[in-house]
Amino acid sequence: MSSNYIFQYKTNINPMKLNSMVSFSNVNGYFSENRKDVYFFRYIGIDTKEKYKNEIIKIHNYLSSRTDIKYLKIQNLEAFANVNVNLNVDEIKKIVIKLEQSEILDKNGNFNWISFVDLVEYKKNISDILLKECCIEIIDMYRKITKNCTVTMIKNFIIKISNWINSIFPKIFEVNTEIKHVPKVIYCGKIKNQEYLFLYLLVKIGCDVLYLNPERDAEISLEILKTSDIYEEKNKCSCDIFREIDDDIIEHKRKEQREKEQREKKQREKETISKNEENRSKDINKIEAKKIEKYIEKEKTYEELATLASSVVMIGTYDKNKNCIKTGSGVVISDNGHILTNFHVISNGYYFGIQIENEDDIYFTDEIIKYNNLDDLAILKIEYYKRKIPIYNTNNELVRGQKVVAIGSPLGLFNSVSNGIISGFRTLNDISMIQFTAPISHGSSGGALLNLEGQLIGIITAGFDSGQNINLAVDYKTVFKFTKNFL
């Protein structure tokens, strides 16, 4: 093995409490010197069946789509390992014989690491020292919690561990680039002591592990349950719910494949049309050019502009005691869930609740992607895909008297729409501002100031209570410079 091990950190388990499946999927372990934060979390019971299914499917699809996170969903560890090892009966017999003949345990049942290494085929990217320490720890734990534990029972446990290591580790630890995020494993359904100890091994090596059981908590030793945190819902449901979830996930993948094929078909048709267009005569090209002019973006009606409110969100800022200390607005600026707002809206917050128009759920996040307190701008991120509002970026300067529309949530009145004009251009504290007359109030901060083409020309930041309709927005040039890497 190379000495440049990626997985060689000491782990700090559960540095903070988690209270939802979504928080597990979003949390990113912190690396510091030779230690990193990992999470071992039991989520027991359900709120409602439909919400439970939707959240698991959403988390699964999200983690599966991330190229920077290794992710694995397991429902039956025994079946999963047996399927993925791909051993026939003769090969399994050879391993058993090899184990029986090895000196992996002495007559007193003490663990022999050197003999165990011969059973473990997967050794890539993991420090021998770290793996040895973790294996010794879980074997000692198994010995302590197993009544009338014999040498044979320990050997059987060890062969299971080696089999699971050879099956599972390549799927979550085999990486060819610098690791940026802790691998994540979700285990669904019932487990026994041996399976739980293997999950604990994954955590000690460097994984976040979420154990889901909608029916009841794991019926295992209370002593080893202390190694993980628990969040328990009030309702219970049969574990068969995972079969329905798997069916929904399969159907989702089929749907995605169909949509992909349709997109590829449309792209081929588009390329064919484009190629044919190139072969047309100049006269036909002139006719087509006139047709294209019809699609040049024109000024929208106020009714059409009001539909863009679905891409403006309300932000609740929460302190460490889970109290909402203020509210503001934000604007979706990318297809990947990036939300632009004012820095003063999210300052002093520990996490943030994002409310989207026509959505009952509030999407919580602690991901502040970027901020600049001097420009009073910040970017949050949620795992939700929504139509973005394009940022104005042309050589045509804005002018006084130009009509504008403001969208925000003044005084918590979600997504209020008002109109006015640009009344001037100001520089305050070295920030270029647009002064406008569209009415706003507290809570509008972070909202959208649009031109009549539906483009973002400013982020609403302040209003003067002592003056009538004297309101300010950070201008589009500052906004575009701040957000250009996210567009």
Answer whether 351's CB lies under 8 Å from 416's CB.
no
Number of Cβ atoms within 10 Å of the Cβ of 335: 11
Q: Please check whether residues 353 and 437 belong to one and the same domain.
A: yes
Query: Domain boundary at 244, 261, 281, which?
Result: 244
Residues with Cβ within 8 Å of residue 292, at least 6 apart in sequence: none
Name the residue type at position 178: E
Q: How many domains does the chain have?
A: 2
Distance CA 175, CA 172 (A): 8
Answer whether 309's CB lies under 8 Å from 357's CB.
yes
> Is residue 1 situated within a structural domain?
no
Q: Please check whether residues 349 and 232 belong to one and the same domain.
A: no
* Partners of residue 303 on adjacent β-strands: none
Residue 75 is predicted with a pLDDT of 84
Reading the block at residue 166, the tokens are 């050879």
Q: Please check whether residues 312 and 460 belong to one and the same domain.
A: yes
Residue 222 is predicted with a pLDDT of 86
Q: Please check whether residues 363 and 434 belong to one and the same domain.
A: yes
Q: Please check whether residues 177 and 309 belong to one and the same domain.
A: no
DSSP letter, residue 309: G
The contacts found for 171-179 with CB under 8 angstroms, 24 or more apart, are 171/70, 171/72, 171/84, 172/70, 172/71, 172/72, 172/202, 172/207, 173/6, 173/7, 173/70, 173/122, 173/124, 173/125, 173/126, 173/205, 174/124, 174/125, 175/6, 175/70, 175/125, 178/6, 179/6, 179/7
Domain CATH code at residue 316: 2.40.10.120
Query: Domain boundary at 219, 244, 269, which?
Result: 244
Q: Please check whether residues 222 and 110 belong to one and the same domain.
A: yes
Backbone φ, ψ for residue 380 (5° rounding): -100, 165
Residue 220 is predicted with a pLDDT of 87
Residue 110 is predicted with a pLDDT of 63
Q: Please check whether residues 370 and 229 belong to one and the same domain.
A: no
> Is residue 277 situated within a structural domain?
no
Domain carrying residue 60: 10-244
pTM over 0.85: no
Distance CA 199, CA 185 (A): 9
Q: Please check whether residues 218 and 305 belong to one and the same domain.
A: no
Residue 86 is predicted with a pLDDT of 47
> Is residue 283 situated within a structural domain?
no
Q: Please check whether residues 79 and 190 belong to one and the same domain.
A: yes
> Is residue 289 situated within a structural domain?
no
Distance CA 480, CA 487 (A): 9
Residue 33 is predicted with a pLDDT of 62
Question: What is the mean pLDDT of each successive set of 10 residues along the chain, which is 487 residues long?
Answer: 46 81 80 76 90 88 84 79 49 58 60 60 65 84 86 81 83 63 87 92 89 90 89 86 79 80 85 71 49 52 90 93 91 91 93 89 90 92 85 88 91 85 90 90 88 94 68 93 84
Answer whether 334's CB lies under 8 Å from 383's CB.
no
Query: Domain boundary at 197, 222, 244, which?
Result: 244
> Is residue 15 situated within a structural domain?
yes
Q: Please check whether residues 200 and 132 belong to one and the same domain.
A: yes
Q: Please check whether residues 17 and 123 belong to one and the same domain.
A: yes
* Partners of residue 264 on adjacent β-strands: none
> Is residue 274 situated within a structural domain?
no
Q: Please check whether residues 96 and 23 belong to one and the same domain.
A: yes
> Is residue 57 situated within a structural domain?
yes
Residue 291 is predicted with a pLDDT of 39
